[in-house]
Amino acid sequence: GNSVTQMEGPVTLSEEAFLTINCTYTATGYPSLFWYVQYPGEGLQLLLKATKADDKGSNKGFEATYRKETTSFHLEKGSVQVSDSAVYFCALASGGSYIPTFGRGTSLIVHP
């Protein structure tokens, strides 16, 4: 079946530091890959997505590249801000069901 593995959190960074949150997946066929973000007290919001190999999704300074050879979709940002503090979820959708399978979420804490 489909599954998503994310790095354990929390990830704690200082403002303007470089961010990487690792995500690897197992799926049948050719999945679409997503990153969702959950700010404190809110529901999840789609941050970015990629639908085929070598695609790069980007939004709000965040990027992730669909790597089929390593089955990965790592999230990166060059310079984080305090306002980026949130929980980040990697997800995939594939096969007969396009309902996303989510990872456990990685909490990011950015200090001033």
Write out the residues near other proteins by the rule CB under 8 A: 4, 32, 34, 36, 41-46, 49, 51, 89, 93, 97-105
Cβ neighbours of residue 29 under 8 Å, at least 6 residues apart?
94, 95
Least distance to other proteins from the beta carbon of 16, Å? 29
What is the number of other CB atoms lying within 10 angstroms of the CB of residue 2?
Answer: 18
- 46 or 82: whose CB is closer to other proteins? 46
Amino acid (1-letter code) at residue 23: C
- 4 or 21: whose CB is closer to other proteins? 4
